[in-house]
A and B are shown apart, each in its own frame.
Chain A
Amino acid sequence: MKKVESMSIRRKAKWYSTWSVALILATSVGGVVVTNAGATTSTIVKGGTLTYGTDREPTCLDPHNYGDMPQTYIARQYLDSLVSELSDGSVAPWLAKSWTISSDGLHYTFQIKKGVKFTDGTPLNAAAVAANFAQIENPKTQSATDAGYLAPYYVSTTVKGPYVVEVNLKKPYSALLDVLAQAFFGIESPKAMSRGLTANCQSPVGTGPFIVQGWVHGQSVTLERNANYNSAPANAKHQGPAYLSKIVWKFLEDSSVRFAALQGGEVPIIFNPPAQDQTALNADTSLSLLQFTHSGIPNGIALNTSKAPFNDVKVRQAFFYASNAKSALKSAYEGTLPPASGPLSSSTPDYSSLFENTHNFNTVKANSLLNAAGWTGHNASGYRTKDGKALTARLVYSSNTGDTPPADLTLLQDIQASEKTVGVDVILVPQSESTYFNSFTNETNHELLWGAYWNSPTPAVLNIVYSTSALKPNLGNNSAFTSDPALDTILLQAAASTVPATQKKLYGQAQAIVQQQAWDLSVYPETTRLGIANTLSGVWIEPSEGEPVLSDAWLSK
């Protein structure tokens, strides 16, 4: 049951999430870099089998279906997209060698690269690209992320010539290119897609550097080199076929197993090395760490504002003051993660640093707020009471260690103990995954919810998570169940504005409201980390969704 690891991007499909900023954390130990240098040898070695140890298993290898992070991580290895994201937020040519955007921003015309073939022999052309949009739009594909990205804007795709395709929108969507850069929008063979969802989930066919060879559920996916690869993105480290001849994409749920395998040399690269082994990783000169911080809403605890006790802003603020979240994070993750405080992750555009210390640990303030809120009585166990009812809050989290790793549990228990000192009784309630996901939409059985993060490139994510309009149509977006007309107005103005300074001002106001309302206790930003042995070189993380890129990687003998 233990699926695993930690700061992985979890279930929540990230709609609207486009580019995220690669953050280079230049620490002196461990060597956090965005491209790993690997061994000192400069001669590239071709061939060899690379085992990549990851935590969660994708449910379907076709990322058009559903759309969870594990799908995009692996799909990057066998699917090419139309464009490739650069770290400055612009895009480079990939399967589209160039494109033009109409002046009204409603028509995107792509010139498709010639001479590229899918690995089943089908040629890549405009019709093939159009077929991909058709598949995403087809309800049978059961697309959540892709369909979600396109839904508010997309109208149709038109084939304008053998290698010219036009995407038509109903309203301008400046983020479209960044959206298409994700492996979620990898281009697949129309012939393979026509086999239907079941077959396509097992072995999707792309034009990418690797080919899906087999998938043993619960164990691994085997990828083989595409010897005819000729469609690397413009920003790749080299053109032509990948250096590695084979990749075994192995699911090692237990983080300590993953790390032991890395340390023992069995697996040269692992996804999300556990925090508790950070010291060992730093000390080991044969290992290095590649880290990527996502922008958007940081991971934390959503306070259920739909009912008592957190329908009272004083109680929410008291909960913030008493949580001692920064110390809890430091103890649980042993200082490997930066604290997040404030509504947005620090790498998000228009992030305001004003709120980093507004809710620092302060039991005096917490107690006076709770007193003011009328929670003045105390029961036999020392918890506060009001009208004979104890101040109790059930905190739900997924019992799956893939969603809630041990370090998260340590953190939650630390917060629980800290809240106890001001008389708030936090009860931890592990839930099976299906029940847990139900809690995002169902406010009746919990007061607190762990895991309420949202990866997104833009501060407009505040609109997705906190606006009144987010309460109804797409259930589960607004996991604090909030509604604030003043905030709604500000966010609408910000979305309509094209002036950066105005946007910055408005988003600053929005962050102030969210922080003052104390809806979400932010704890740490979502992070993608790769532990890499020195025998492996050339790995890089692309910045649209933090996908690892292995086509430029090579193993020294």
Chain B
Amino acid sequence: MVTSLTEALVVGPGIETHVRRRRRLSFRLGVWLSALLVVFVTVAAVDPSLLASGAPDTINLGHSFIAPSWSHLLGTDPSGRDVYTRVIYGARQSLVIGLLATLIAMVIAIILGVTAGLGGRWVDALINRFLEVLFAFPGLLLAFLFVAIFGTGVVTEVVAVAVGSAPGYARMIRGQVLAVKGSGYVEAAYALGHAPRRVISRQIVPNAMRPLVVLATMGVGQSIVWASSLSFLGLGVAPPSPEWGAMLDAGRDYTLQAWWLEIFPGLAIVLCTLAVTSLGRYFQQKLDGGIGA
């Protein structure tokens, strides 16, 4: 949620380097499990019918509140819908929201960050002040206001999460651009007489972007959690969508009598986020040292 690693990576001076400094490639088993889970979730998102035979919104009023059993692996909800099927079908929406939100955030951030990093003193100062103002609204608050203005729904949810997380990425990108710009090999490229435009497109931007791949991977996990928080506050996607956060919101009044409604969608979010983040960190370790900054 707001306490996100990606956000932490970009908030304070020097933090990004601290995290990147991790050296050992720890727990390979975890990496394999994570990869497996990501593949599973991806399959669920691409073609959920491969993993679940029923439809997520098939209501069966006679079969409500059935506890987890062989016929209903994760139980059924008040309308008799199969929770396992809904969790599988929810993967697409949650994943798409996570990916899209991160993508939009990255695009906004790259435009702001690169412009600030390369645009000269005044542009940099202007964008920096702007980011500082956005930073003064902690992410969730920003997303919250955004939803209040533009209403609920998938599109606003995606954009709200993107808007909430973009300032963090933008600041990080700006830092990277500045670092790469001042690095030895860029100076060398200038010294060799390369045109500035060529240096920017061939050297600065690609090198500054490299750590973003990792950042984006982890951002996806965080966006999923974040979007589900909005759904949980009733500000996300509308029912009967099986989006995980929406499922949690719907299940919260039934915790005493049907715990499975609250546990399984929550576990889906946690495990998915965990897997994506672990992979992100694994790639980060692999990349370590290759940044050249």
- Do A and B touch (CB < 8 Å)? yes
List A residues at the B interface (Cβ < 8 Å). Answer: 1-2, 254-256, 259-260, 274, 276-277, 279-280, 327-328, 330-332, 399-401, 405-407, 409-410, 412-414, 416-418, 427-432, 435
Q: Which B residue's beta carbon lies closest to that of A328?
A: B61
**Contact residue among A256, A260, A332 (Cβ-Cβ distance under 8 Å from B78):** A332
Known: A328-B61, A331-B80. A280 touches B148 (CB 8 A): no
Q: Can you name 11 A-B pairs with beta carbons within 8 Å?
A: A276-B253, A280-B256, A399-B152, A406-B253, A413-B59, A413-B79, A413-B239, A413-B240, A417-B79, A418-B59, A428-B239
CB distance B253 to A254 under 8 Å? yes
Produce 1/0 per residue, B243-279, CB < 8 A to A: 0000000101111110000000000000000000000
Residues of B within 8 A of A427 (CB): 238
Q: Which A residue's beta carbon lies closest to that of B63?
A: A331
Q: How far is the CB of A439 from chain B (nearest CB, A)?
A: 12
Report the separation of the CA atoms of residues A2 and B253 in the bound assembly, to the nearest whole angstrom: 11
Q: How far is the CB of B66 from chain A (nearest CB, A)?
A: 13
CB distance B59 to A430 under 8 Å? no
Produce 1/0 per residue, B232-246, CB < 8 A to A: 011100111000000
Q: Which A residue's beta carbon lies closest to that of B80?
A: A331
Q: How far is the CB of B239 from chain A (nearest CB, A)?
A: 5
Q: How far is the CB of A398 from chain B (nearest CB, A)?
A: 9
CB distance B233 to A432 under 8 Å? no
Smallest CB-CB A-B distances: 5 pairs: A417-B59, A399-B234, A406-B253, A331-B61, A410-B78
Q: Which A residue's beta carbon lies closest to that of B256?
A: A256
CB distance A430 to B234 under 8 Å? yes
Produce 1/0 per residue, B12-56, CB < 8 A to A: 000000000000000000000000000000000000000000000
A255, A409, A418, A429: which has the most chain B beta carbons within 10 Å? A409
CB distance B152 to A276 under 8 Å? no
**Contact residue among A260, A331, A407, A429 (Cβ-Cβ distance under 8 Å from B238):** A429
Report the separation of the CA atoms of residues A389 and B126 in the bound assembly, to the nearest whole angstrom: 49
**Contact residue among B148, B233, B250 (Cβ-Cβ distance under 8 Å from A409):** B250
Report the separation of the CA atoms of residues A418 and B57 in the bound assembly, to the nearest whole angstrom: 11
CB distance A409 to B239 under 8 Å? yes
- Residue B64 lies at the interface, judged by CB distance under 8 Å to chain A: yes
CB distance B234 to A401 under 8 Å? yes
Q: How far is the CB of B265 from chain A (nearest CB, A)?
A: 14
- Residue B151 lies at the interface, judged by CB distance under 8 Å to chain A: yes
CB distance A417 to B240 under 8 Å? yes
Report the separation of the CA atoms of residues A405 and B253 in the bound assembly, to the nearest whole angstrom: 9
Q: How far is the CB of B38 from chain A (nearest CB, A)?
A: 30
CB distance A276 to B78 under 8 Å? yes
From 71 to 116 in chain B, residues with beta carbon under 8 angstroms from any chain A beta carbon are 77-80
CB distance B61 to A256 under 8 Å? no
Q: How far is the CB of A111 from chain B (nearest CB, A)?
A: 50
**Contact residue among A1, A280, A414, A435 (Cβ-Cβ distance under 8 Å from B61):** A414
Residues of A within 8 A of B59 (CB): 413-414, 417-418
**Contact residue among B148, B234, B239, B254 (Cβ-Cβ distance under 8 Å from A256):** B254
Residues of A within 8 A of B254 (CB): 256, 276, 406
List B residues at the A interface (Cβ < 8 Å). Answer: 57-59, 61, 64, 77-80, 148, 151-152, 233-235, 238-240, 250, 252-257
Residues of A within 8 A of B239 (CB): 409, 412-413, 428
Report the separation of the CA atoms of residues A418 and B235 in the bound assembly, to the nearest whole angstrom: 25
Report the separation of the CA atoms of residues A375 and B148 in the bound assembly, to the nearest whole angstrom: 37
Report the separation of the CA atoms of residues A399 and B254 in the bound assembly, to the nearest whole angstrom: 18
Report the separation of the CA atoms of residues A417 and B57 in the bound assembly, to the nearest whole angstrom: 7
Residues of A within 8 A of B256 (CB): 256, 259-260, 276-277, 280
Residues of B within 8 A of A330 (CB): 61
A259, A277, A401, A417: which has the most chain B beta carbons within 10 Å? A417
Q: Which B residue's beta carbon lies closest to that of A394?
A: B238
**Contact residue among B64, B238, B252 (Cβ-Cβ distance under 8 Å from A430):** B238
Q: How far is the CB of B87 from chain A (nearest CB, A)?
A: 17
Residues of B within 8 A of A435 (CB): 151
Residues of B within 8 A of A414 (CB): 59, 61, 79
CB distance B252 to A256 under 8 Å? yes
Residues of B within 8 A of A410 (CB): 77-79, 250
CB distance B240 to A274 under 8 Å? no
Report the separation of the CA atoms of residues A416 and B58 in the bound assembly, to the nearest whole angstrom: 11
A279, A430, A435: which has the most chain B beta carbons within 10 Å? A430
B64, B79, B253, B254: which has the most chain A beta carbons within 10 Å? B253
Report the separation of the CA atoms of residues A206 and B151 in the bound assembly, to the nearest whole angstrom: 42
Q: Which B residue's beta carbon lies closest to that of A412?
A: B239
Q: How far is the CB of B256 from chain A (nearest CB, A)?
A: 6
Given A407-B78, A428-B240, 20 additional A-B pairs, CB 8 A: A1-B233, A1-B234, A254-B253, A256-B253, A256-B254, A280-B256, A327-B61, A332-B78, A406-B254, A407-B253, A410-B78, A410-B79, A413-B57, A413-B239, A413-B240, A414-B59, A417-B57, A429-B238, A431-B152, A432-B148
Residues of B within 8 A of A428 (CB): 238-240
Q: How far is the CB of A428 from chain B (nearest CB, A)?
A: 5
CB distance B152 to A430 under 8 Å? yes
Report the separation of the CA atoms of residues A277 and B258 in the bound assembly, to the nearest whole angstrom: 11
Residues of A within 8 A of B58 (CB): 417
CB distance B61 to A406 under 8 Å? no
Q: How far is the CB of A416 from chain B (nearest CB, A)?
A: 7
Residues of B within 8 A of A413 (CB): 57, 59, 79, 239-240
Q: Which A residue's beta carbon lies closest to that of B253?
A: A406
Residues of B within 8 A of A327 (CB): 61
Residues of A within 8 A of B64 (CB): 331
Report the separation of the CA atoms of residues A258 and B234 in the bound assembly, to the nearest whole angstrom: 20
Q: How far is the CB of A277 from chain B (nearest CB, A)?
A: 7
Residues of A within 8 A of B240 (CB): 413, 416-417, 428
**Contact residue among A399, A406, A416, A432 (Cβ-Cβ distance under 8 Å from B250):** A406
CB distance B233 to A256 under 8 Å? no
Report the separation of the CA atoms of residues A430 and B256 in the bound assembly, to the nearest whole angstrom: 26
CB distance B79 to A277 under 8 Å? no
Report the separation of the CA atoms of residues A413 and B80 in the bound assembly, to the nearest whole angstrom: 11
A256, A399, A400, A432: which has the most chain B beta carbons within 10 Å? A399
Report the separation of the CA atoms of residues A270 and B233 in the bound assembly, to the nearest whole angstrom: 24
Residues of A within 8 A of B234 (CB): 1-2, 399-401, 430
Residues of A within 8 A of B255 (CB): 256
B61, B238, B239, B252: which has the most chain A beta carbons within 10 Å? B238
CB distance B235 to A399 under 8 Å? yes
Residues of B within 8 A of A260 (CB): 256
Residues of A within 8 A of B80 (CB): 331
CB distance B79 to A406 under 8 Å? no
Q: How far is the CB of A480 from chain B (nearest CB, A)?
A: 22
Report the separation of the CA atoms of residues A25 and B256 in the bound assembly, to the nearest whole angstrom: 26
Residues of A within 8 A of B238 (CB): 427-430
Report the separation of the CA atoms of residues A2 and B249 in the bound assembly, to the nearest whole angstrom: 10
CB distance A431 to B151 under 8 Å? yes
Residues of A within 8 A of B253 (CB): 254-256, 274, 276, 405-407
Q: Which B residue's beta carbon lies closest to that of A432?
A: B148
Residues of A within 8 A of B77 (CB): 410
**Contact residue among A274, A328, A432 (Cβ-Cβ distance under 8 Å from B151):** A432
Q: How far is the CB of A382 from chain B (nearest CB, A)?
A: 12
Q: How far is the CB of A201 from chain B (nearest CB, A)?
A: 25
Q: How far is the CB of A224 from chain B (nearest CB, A)?
A: 33
Report the separation of the CA atoms of residues A413 and B242 in the bound assembly, to the nearest whole angstrom: 12
Q: How far is the CB of B56 from chain A (nearest CB, A)?
A: 11
Q: How far is the CB of B61 from chain A (nearest CB, A)?
A: 4
Report the separation of the CA atoms of residues A510 and B257 in the bound assembly, to the nearest whole angstrom: 44
Q: Which A residue's beta carbon lies closest to that of B147?
A: A432
Residues of A within 8 A of B79 (CB): 331-332, 410, 413-414, 417
